[in-house]
Structure 1
Amino acid sequence: MESSLELEAVNFGKSIIIPSVQEMAKESMTKIPPRYERPDQDPPIISTDASLLLSSIPVIDLERLAIEDSMDSELDILHSACREWGFFQVVNHRVSSTLLEEFKMQVENFFKLPYEDKKKLWQKPDNHEGFGQLFVVSEEQKLDWSDMFYVTTLPLYLRMNDLFDKLPPNLRETLETYCSEVKKLASEILGHMAKGLKMDAEEMKELFSDGVQSIRMNYYPPCPEPDKAIGFSPHSDADALTILFQLSDTEGLEIRKEGRWFPVKPLPNAFVVNVGDITEVLFFRFAQCSTTVYKLLDWIVHE
């Protein structure tokens, strides 16, 4: 499982309603339905590949960015991470571990809700928010082996209160705090990125201060044919930043760089940050940022 918070700039619109993969996985099946078979995916990465083991996405220490003696060197690392990878992990971010543990527990409990309760939160034919999958536009389209719950959280006037108010009270309360804290984190990261590009940090923060914030919670059930399925199709994010909090230390996230897929080993209580397409376009006049495609493999992501 994972959750990611995105500063969105687009409306995903409608998505065809599909069955719950989590419910499907509870059945005694030995084969997955044809729509979930993905023969086109790249073969699994061999973890003993020395070049892959030596390569890892950069880690940014926000405490070092606050100390004058280490600020410049850490900004150089951040600048390089945006330019070369488009991804980095953030540590010492000051989002409390207590909050993260509570949020993790609430998300896990959320996906354990009875199916009848989840049906009240399922996507509607005219909107993408709720349980389901995004970007399903035809009955023949290949599907991911995962369930997701998607909801817009900020600004308040864009929030679907009918959906948000149906969330379990403990999750709703924790989600409010989590989104507020991660919004501050996003603003801080954008400010540091601006400094690395010799831009005005406050102007950058102000530019995204009223941006749309949404959260997507993903669940990857066990799969009877994991070598044929994929948890999350390869893609890039059409947003400003995606901030990912992985709820377990199971590896599965991969990013594509220079034609090769690199696994991401999540650090405890760290956030994985993806520089989205909007930020790349904005920064292009100052320095090129990497548009990074990433995916989640079902053969390695499980309960």
Structure 2
Amino acid sequence: MGSEDEKVSDWGKSLTVPSVQELVRNDPHSLPERYIQLHRDRPVVPDMAVAPSSFDIPIIDFALLAKGDEDETRKLDLACKEWGFFQIINHGVPEEVLLKMKAAIAAFFELPLEEKNKYAQDGNDFQGYGQAYVASEDQKLDWCDMVFLITLPHEIRNLKYWADTIPGFKDAIDRYSKEAQKVAEELCANISLLMGMDKDGLQRSYGKTKQAMRMNYYPPCSRPDLVIGINPHSDPDIITLLLQDDEVPGLQIRHKDEWILVKPIHNAIVVNVGDVLEILSNGMYKSIEHRAITNESKARLSLATIMIPYDELEIGPMECAVDDHRPRMYANMKYLDYLRYIFARKMEGKAHLDNTLKIKSSFS
């Protein structure tokens, strides 16, 4: 088993705030001031029939990519350079595993509040049930409740945050986390090849990885034009695999200064580049701002599975990504210090990366 230090994330903490789900249960029309965004931050809720479509976003056949198909490899390169997001189909994760994972998340959020609070965030540990990135008593809040768990490797799991009263909860996570890890590792192997290395090139750079899951619950909102499910941000990881709600869109990505709705594709997984991969690739591949919006009629569930380095890794551009034509764009920093910087503040797009590691120059 891991040490107690390993079992506590020690990345900082988020202030305790009321459950949005309970707020809506008690009064579906309630909209406390802390959730009403400033005018500049309010979303334009899209007409689903005419919204800019996710079908502009690259869709990659994972089975072909894993076989070395040149067209799919080129699509992956384009997706990581120009979009930072793509969807994968034929990823090999059994539909039964996807359905049981989604059912486990739904079962958790169907628990009474008293039961959910048994798994609430505690002390400095970022894991557990609550909200994230709440750094002050007066900041605007996300219209979202979440559960954050470190899921791999097994020995550093902190099972006190796992809802063991839900039949099949742990088994669903075990099975999905294993499948998601295989997908993430294959994607990183292909990205290594695109960066001019062998398949293990990236893995040698970031070493062992942890896997964590963020389970999100977005209640319906009587005024979705005034709130944000999750504020714009980029992900502080290597890559993220997002399992969307097949029926309820909500993810938007910023592309060429426009917010594009990522409409779900049945059983597809949305993948995005994280800050760590942007840093390792010296800006060749981009982590992209994204956010979640809400709607009036339906709750939305999603699951973000993230691949992260160990805390002690020093992140910085890899040698193969720096040359006379592409000088070093990022400084080095211990990954734990980067996480602590981020989690001590509210989400602010890509400001965290730009303010900590991006090297300012007259050419940028």
Tell me the TM-score normalized by structure 1. 0.88
1:56 matched to which residue of 2? 56
**Contact kept in structure 2, 1:81 and 1:87, CA below 8 Å:** yes
Match of 1:273 in 2: 271
Distance 1:47 1:247, change over 3 A: closer
The CA distance in 2 between the partners of 1:17 and 1:65, in whole Å, is 43
Change in 2 beyond 3 A, CA 1:47/1:225 = closer
* Greater Cα offset, 123-132 or 145-154: 123-132
Query: Do structure 1's residue 297 and structure 2's residue 296 form an aligned pair?
Result: no
User: Once the two structures are superposed, what CA deviation does each residue of 1:181-232 show, in whole Å capped at 9, x if it has no partner?
Assistant: 1111100011111222322112324545621211000001111222211111
Q: Does the 8 Å contact 1:188/1:205 carry over to 2?
A: no
Matches within 5 A, 1:249-260: 249-260=247-258
Cross-structure match for 1:4: none
Instruction: Measure the CA separation in 2 of the matches of 1:212 and 1:37.
Output: 35
Alignment check: 8 A CA contact 1:97 1:269 kept: yes
Q: Is the 8 A contact 1:252 1:301 kept in 2?
A: no
Which moves more between the two structures, 78-87 or 109-118? 109-118
Change in CA separation of 1:54 and 1:24 when aligned onto 2, cut-off 3 Å: closer
Q: Write the distance in 2 (CA, Å) between the matches of 1:142 and 1:120.
A: 26
Residues 144, 176 of structure 1: CA spacing in aligned structure 2 closer, same or farther, 3 A cutoff? same
Q: What is the match of residue 3 of structure 1? A: none
- In structure 2, the CA distance between the partners of 1:222 and 1:53, relative to structure 1 (3 Å rule), is closer
Alpha-carbon distance between aligned partners in 2 of 1:66 and 1:135, rounded to the nearest angstrom? 36
CA gap 1:229/1:291 in 2 versus in 1, 3 angstroms = same
Structure number with the bigger relative contact order (C-alpha 8 A, sep ≥ 6) is 1
Checking the alignment, whether the CA contact within 8 Å between 2:43 and 2:228 is kept in structure 1 is no
Q: CA contact under 8 A between 1:229 and 1:299: conserved in structure 2?
A: no
CA distance change for structure 1 residues 53 and 175 in 2, over 3 Å: closer, same or farther?
A: closer
In structure 1, the partner of 2:35 is 36
Opposite residue 24 of structure 2, the aligned amino acid is A
Q: CA deviation at 1:244?
A: 0.4
SS of corresponding position for 1:26: helix
Inter-CA distance 210–259: structure 2 relative to 1 (3 Å threshold): same
Question: Letter of the aligned partner of 1:14 in structure 2?
Answer: K
Q: CA deviation at 1:54?
A: 8.4
Q: 1:203 aligns with which of 192, 201, 204?
A: 201
Aligned residues: 289
Give the residue type in structure 2 aligned to 1:253. L
| Structure 1 residues 209 and 196: alpha-carbon distance in aligned structure 2, compared to 1, 3 A threshold | same
Number of the residue aligned with 1:5: none
CA deviations over 1:149-202 (Å, ceiling 9, x no partner)? 011112234321322374634111110111111111100011111222322112
Query: Would you say the 8 A contact 1:220–1:301 is kept in 2?
Result: no
Q: So what's the TM-score if we normalise by structure 2?
A: 0.74
CA–CA distance in structure 2, aligned partners of residues 121 and 133 of structure 1: 12
2:321 is aligned to none
Secondary structure of 2:121's match?
coil
Q: Distance in 2 between matches of 1:45 and 1:206?
A: 43
Structure 1 window deviating more from structure 2 (255-264 vs 195-204): it is: 195-204
1:81 aligns with 2:79: yes
Shift of 1:31: 3.5
Unmatched 5+ stretches in structure 2: 1-8, 300-364
From 149, 169, 190, the counterpart of 2:147: 149
Deviation of 1:46 after TM superposition, in Å, equals 5.0
Q: Which runs of 5+ in 1 are unaligned?
A: 1-9
Q: Is the 8 A contact 2:45 2:224 kept in 1?
A: no
Deviates more, 1:149-158 or 1:127-136: 149-158
